[in-house]
Amino acid sequence: MLELSRVHCGYKGLPPVLRDISLAFPAGEVTVLLGPNGSGKSTLLKTAARLLPPLQGEVLLDRSDAGQMPPRAFARKVAFLPQNRPAPALPAEALVLHGRFPHLGLSRRPGPADKAIAQAALAKTGAAPLRQREVSSLSGGERQKVYLAMALAQDAETILLDEPTTFLDIGRQFELLALLSALAAEGRAVAAALHDLSHALTVGTQIVLLEKGKLCFCGSPAEAVQSGVLERAFGVRIHRDTQGRYYVTPPDS
Amino acid sequence: MPRSLKSSMPREPRERKQTVLFVGTVCFLCLAALISVGVGSTPLDLPGALRALMDGNLEDGGARILLYVRLPRTVAALLAGSALAVSGTLLQAVLNNALAGPNIIGVSAGAGFATLLCTALFPFLPGLLPVAAFIGALAAALIIYAVALSTGASRMTLVLAGVAISGILTAASNTVRLLSPDAAAGSTTFFIGGFSGVTLAGMGLVAPYILLGIVLAFLCAGALDLLTLGEETAASLGLRVGRTRFLLILLAALLAGAAVSFSGLISFVGLLVPHLCRSLFGARHRLLLPAAAATGGLLTCLCDTLARVLFSPYELPVGILLSFLGGPFFLYLLLRKKRGRVYA
């Protein structure tokens, strides 16, 4: 299990973006990171994914210091979908195959098993029809699916996603949320930074609110709504319809 | 047949087309090399000269021309073109920036300055030149890298730092030129770039560096592929990004430095060829690197032959021709890109 233990997140030489964060990403749960713009959701995910060294505290993977692990061993356990996704002139399936990099042997050549996993990942994200297309010719949403397939091909226990719903139209956003739940149902730990509160409350099983450089709430969606922290942080009202689904309105309605 | 089964077929049509194109380029390269050896200011009976050379008969005039004039020159054009093209491909992938090239980020300027300085200080030691050029290229690359590292290693900073270093080094080169008549004498041709001064012994000295560098670059194809996905993705897949970048920059400096040491500041090959090859061969470095090496060698060799015969018996420094051909062609590529075709 991936855990942050009393971590200060941020960039060297600058004041920390987040202070004293302790958070675990348990298997089978979808952890949703919420917070206003600039609250440090991306910074937290990057720190957890080892892209940023913690300024203080420790990132632990299965109770040992993640910073001391060889990078490929860590990458076999933790996958990360960054917000920033370049578009190389590569066929989509070649890109997805890169997800197998941490699993490759000394020759670094993917075998038939790796190719099968990459194809399955493409199918899972609905990107199978794109597999021969060059990534540079894809739309933002299509590119997103291909990158997500790459993260899935990595076949890691923990999958961290930074803003996975950007660029997707609303139908595809729901498909993506369903995919996150399905991954958690497979026993993986899923964590995503999301903007949309109703999405977050639908898909999340562990809601994390970041505000003013601190982790100010971590709990179930029901607790998050009842405590009123979300309404206060975002200046909105959260309602529940008769089928138990959450929806969000402006505060004066 | 369901989609998922079709994908297990070994080769996609595009990949096959690219492979055919690559084989074609290599064939063309061999042809260009042959023409380059055969053509020159003195008419040469090529088969006869070759036979004499095979027999070890160095008394034969043709064989001597072949061995001491034509072959070194052709080899020089091929090696310089390949080295610069591979160096440019490495830099563009490592810095994730299509603007990068040995000329632009100051690696060539570093090699050029060191070469001039070496000529000024030790005019009687031409054997030192490749070493000096490599040190110069390396020093420039390391300074750029150090500057960028201390500011967070963003790729834009790397390019800007390169431009600044380039400016400083060019000024330093001009100072050396003004102060030392020895360095000034050959410096014009050096700054334009050309192969008129290469010797068999000189090529023997640098060829191993270049060949070693190219082979090492080929071995790094996988890492280069990952780097083109961006720093974050590469790192999250388990690549040691900092270390890999550093080693690849060293390699690019080695290649550019070695090429500059005997050919001068040939421009455009290091920028143009990687662009052209990415559009023709895709972004997979397993194919892109060999293709860039072949195309760089081919282009430089062709231009050098052209430079020799165009105004025969006078010869044009190949750097001029490459800039005249390369500049407009590069603009053409950019315009095509503008109209919707994407290259980088």
A213-237, pLDDT tens digit by residue? Answer: 999 999 999 999 999 999 999 999 9
A75 touches chain B (CB under 8 A): yes
DSSP B66: I
Question: A134 CB near a chain B CB, below 8 Å?
Answer: yes
Residue ranges of A 150-189 with Cβ closer than 8 A to chain B? 150, 154
Q: What pLDDT does B53 receive? A: 78
Full set of structural domains in chain B with CATH: 16-342 (1.10.3470.10)
Residue A65, pLDDT score: 93
pLDDT in the model for residue B151 = 63
Q: Residue B142: its pLDDT value, please?
A: 82
Which spans in chain B are helix H? 3-6, 13-38, 46-54, 61-65, 71-94, 107-121, 129-150, 155-179, 181-192, 200-219, 221-227, 231-236, 241-263, 269-281, 285-309, 318-338
For residue B342, give both structure tokens: 């994407």
In chain B, positions 193-222, which contact chain A (CB-CB < 8 Å)?
222
What span, in angstroms and rounded, lies between the C-alpha atoms of A143 and B283? 16
Of the listed ranges A181-190, B83-92, B136-145, B154-163, the one predicted with least confidence: B154-163
Report the complex ipTM.
0.89
Say what the pLDDT of residue B50 is.
79
Asked if residue B117 lies in contact with residue B132, where contact means CB atoms within 8 angstroms, the answer is: yes
Q: Do B230 and A74 touch (CB under 8 A)?
A: no
Closest CA to B264 of B119, B122, B145: B119
What is the per-residue pLDDT for A180? 94
B14 touches chain A (CB under 8 A): yes
- Cβ(B302)–Cβ(B284) under 8 Å? no
Q: Is the pLDDT of residue A187 over 90?
A: yes
Residue-wise pLDDT tens digits, B278-291: 888 988 899 999 99
Which of B214, B96, B121, B234 shows the shortest CA–CA distance to B176?
B121
Closest-CA distance, A79 to chain B, in angstroms, reads 6
Contact call for A88 and B236, based on CB within 8 A: no
Which pLDDT belongs to residue B2?
Answer: 45
pLDDT, residue B160, reads 79
Higher pLDDT, residue A184 or B53: A184
What does the alpha-carbon distance between residue B88 and residue B126 come to, in Å, rounded to a whole number? 26
Q: What's residue B291's pLDDT? A: 96
Instruction: State whether A99 and B237 contact (CB < 8 Å).
Output: yes
Name the 3-class secondary structure at A189. Answer: strand
In chain B, which residue's Cα lies nearest the Cα of A71? B238
pLDDT at B339 over 60: no
Residues of B in contact with A118 (CB under 8 A): none
Name B60's bridge partners.
none
| Banded model confidence at residue B100, pLDDT cuts 50, 70, 90 | confident
Q: Report the residue of chain B nearest A155, measured CA to CA.
A: B237
- Comparing CB atoms, the residue among B12, B222, B230 nearest residue A132 is B12
C-alpha distance from B157 to closest chain A C-alpha (Å):
17
Task: Average the pLDDT over each of A91-95, B105-109, B182-186 and give the range with the smallest value.
Answer: B182-186
**B150 CB near a chain A CB, below 8 Å?**
no
- Quick check: A46 and A161 in contact, CB under 8 A? no
Which site among B1, B226, B232 would you substitute to test the A interface, given the most A Cβ atoms closer than 10 Å to its Cβ? B232
Poorest-pLDDT segment among A159-168, B149-158, B298-307: B149-158
Of the candidates B130, B25, B95, B76, which has an alpha carbon nearest to the alpha carbon of residue B301?
A: B76
SS3 content of chain A, % helix, strand, coil (to 5): 40, 25, 35
Which of A:214-253 have CB within 8 Å of B?
none
Count of CA atoms in the C-beta half-sphere (13 A) of A1: 13
Q: Is the pLDDT of residue A69 over 50?
A: yes
The answer to whether A130 and A104 have CB atoms below 8 angstroms apart is no
Given a contact cutoff of 8 angstroms between Cβ atoms, the answer to whether A26 and A206 are in contact is yes
Which of B16, B5, B22, B6 lies closest to B293 in space, CA to CA?
A: B22
Nearest-neighbour CA in chain A from B234: distance (Å): 9
